[in-house]
C-alpha cells in the first residue's frame, strides 16, 4: 500500500521563496511511490485547521515552514488524538529546532531520503490549554519573531531580529512572579523567562548539545533578572554566549513542571509565535508525546 503524505506549506517561509522548492520536493516523493496532498496555510486556514480536516486520510505529515508552522501542526495532531508520523523541511528564518535534531540544511534532502529517516520520541510541553514543542517564553525580546516585519526578515534574515533586540533592551520591563518547580519556589522579578527543549532560541544558541535531551521528560529553564546597569547586560550576554549561567542575575534549572503566577497579565511566545496573554500559567512536560521522523545519523 502506498503511504499517504500530507505536505503543509507556509508560503511566507524561506524569505518567501519556499514555493519554488515545492514542485521538486513533490516530484522526489512521487518518484519514491508516495501519494501526496499539498496544502498551503493562509489567514483563514492555518496548520492546525488543515490537520483537523485531513488527518483521517493520511499516514504522515511533512511541514515546509518555520517553527511557528510546526507548532500549529503539532497542536492539531495532539488535539485529534491520532498517532501519526511528522517531520519537517526547515524553511524558517531561525529554524531553532532543526538545529537541535540535526535536520539537513539541503531543502531536497528529506524528500529524497524519507525512507531512511527514523522515528524519535520527543517531549511536548502543555501550556494551559495549548501545546509547544521547543519553547515557551515571556519578557524582553520574546516577541521579536512575530513583530519583526516580514520584508526586513526577507532582506537580512535573522539579523533583523538582532537589530530589534537591541532596541528592546533599552526599554526592559520587569515582571514580578512566583514560580513553583519540581524542587523549589522562586519569588523574584524577571525581564525574561524561557522554558525550552532546544539548544537554540531566536537564532541564538543558549545551550551545549550535551545539555539538551529532547525526550528525558525535563525542560531547561532560564530566568533572567533585571541588571542594575549596562555592565550587567553585557555580563548576561557573555553568560549566554559561554553557556554558563552561574551569576547572580540568572536562574538556570531542569524541571518537569512549572506553575507561574504574575501580578499582571503577561504576553507569551510559543515556538516563536504569539502565545496569548496570561497571568497564571501551568506548564507540564509530556514525555515522549510525539513521533518525529529525523535523520538516521541523529
163-189 per-position pLDDT tens digit: 666 666 666 789 999 999 999 999 999
Residues 102 and 9 in one domain: yes
Residues 101 and 174 in one domain: no
C-alpha cell read off for 201: 532560541
Assess whether pLDDT exceeds 90 at residue 162.
Answer: no
Residues 139 and 96 in one domain: no
Cβ-Cβ contacts under 8 Å for 73 (sequence gap 6 or more): 8, 47, 48, 50, 51, 61, 63, 86
- pLDDT band for 298, please (50, 70, 90 cuts): very low
* Percent of residues, the chain, with pLDDT higher than 90: 60
Residues 48 and 106 in one domain: yes
Closest C-alpha to 107, from 120, 88, 93: 88
pLDDT of residue 190: 94
Residues 279 and 241 in one domain: yes
* Percent of residues, the chain, with pLDDT higher than 70: 89
pLDDT of residue 74: 96
**How many Å apart are CA 298 and CA 294, to the nearest integer?**
7
Within a domain: residue 273? yes
pLDDT of residue 293: 94
Half-sphere exposure of 213 (CA within 13 A, CB side): 9
Assess whether pLDDT exceeds 50 at residue 214.
Answer: yes
The last residue of a domain, from among 54, 86, 116:
116
pLDDT of residue 157: 61
Residues 42 and 175 in one domain: no
Strand partners of residue 178: 187, 261
Domain that residue 219 falls in: 130-287
How many structural domains is the chain composed of?
A: 2
The last residue of a domain, from among 58, 82, 116:
116
pTM for the structure as a whole:
0.87
Assess whether pLDDT exceeds 90 at residue 72.
Answer: yes
Residues 184 and 247 in one domain: yes
Residues 174 and 76 in one domain: no
pLDDT of residue 228: 80
Helix, strand, coil: what percent of the chain each, to 5? 30, 35, 30
pLDDT of residue 151: 66
pLDDT of residue 39: 96
Report the interhelical angle of 47-54 vs 67-80 (nearest 10°). Answer: 40
Alpha helices in the chain (DSSP H): 22-31, 47-54, 67-80, 96-100, 109-113, 144-147, 150-156, 159-168, 230-242
CATH code of the domain covering residue 21: 3.40.50.10330
273, 145 contact by CB (below 8 A): yes
Within a domain: residue 296? no
pLDDT of residue 81: 87
Q: Indicate the DSSP class of residue 170.
A: G
Cβ-Cβ contacts under 8 Å for 106 (sequence gap 6 or more): none
**How many Å apart are CA 164 and CA 94, to the nearest integer?**
15
- pLDDT band for 1, please (50, 70, 90 cuts): very low
Compare 287 and 91 and report the one with higher pLDDT.
287
Within a domain: residue 215? yes
Residues 70 and 153 in one domain: no
Amino acid at each position: 500500500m502506498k503511504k499517504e503524505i500530507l505536505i503543509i506549506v507556509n508560503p511566507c517561509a524561506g524569505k518567501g521563496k519556499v514555493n519554488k522548492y515545492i514542485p521538486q520536493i513533490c516530484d522526489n516523493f512521487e518518484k519514491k511511490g508516495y501519494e501526496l496532498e499539498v496544502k498551503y496555510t493562509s489567514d483563514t486556514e492555518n496548520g492546525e485547521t488543515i490537520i483537523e480536516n485531513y488527518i483521517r486520510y493520511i499516514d504522515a505529515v511533512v511541514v515546509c515552514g518555520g517553527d511557528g508552522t510546526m507548532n500549529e501542526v503539532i497542536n492539531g495532531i495532539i488535539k485529534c488524538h491520532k498517532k501519526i508520523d511528522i517531520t519537517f523541511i526547515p524553511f524558517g528564518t531561525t529554524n531553532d529546532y532543526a538545529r537541535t535534531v540535526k535536520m539537513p540544511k539541503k531543502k531536497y534532502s528529506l524528500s529524497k531520503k524519507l525512507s531512511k529517516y527514523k522515528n524519535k520520541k520527543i517531549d511536548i510541553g502543555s501550556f494551559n490549554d495549548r501545546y509547544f514543542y521547543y519553547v515557551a517564553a515571556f519578557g524582553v525580546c520574546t516577541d521579536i519573531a512575530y513583530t519583526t516585519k516580514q520584508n526586513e526578515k526577507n532582506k537580512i534574515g535573522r539579523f533583523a531580529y538582532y537589530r530589534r533586540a537591541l532596541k528592546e533592551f533599552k526599554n526592559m520591563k520587569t515582571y514580578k512572579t512566583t514560580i513553583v518547580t519540581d524542587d523549589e519556589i522562586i519569588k523574584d522579578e524577571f525581564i525574561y523567562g524561557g522554558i525550552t527543549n532546544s539548544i537554540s532560541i531566536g537564532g541564538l544558541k543558549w545551550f551545549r548539545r550535551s545539555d539538551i535531551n529532547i525526550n528525558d521528560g525535563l525542560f531547561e529553564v532560564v530566568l533572567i533578572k533585571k541588571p542594575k546597569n549596562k555592565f550587567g547586560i553585557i555580563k548576561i550576554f557573555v553568560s549566554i554566549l559561554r553557556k554558563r549561567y552561574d551569576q547572580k542575575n540568572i536562574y538556570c534549572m531542569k524541571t518537569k513542571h512549572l506553575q507561574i503566577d504574575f501580578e499582571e497579565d503577561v504576553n507569551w511566545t510559543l515556538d516563536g509565535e504569539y502565545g496569548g496573554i496570561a497571568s497564571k500559567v501551568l506548564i507540564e512536560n509530556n514525555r515522549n508525546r510525539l513521533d518525529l521522523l529525523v535523520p538516521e545519523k541523529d
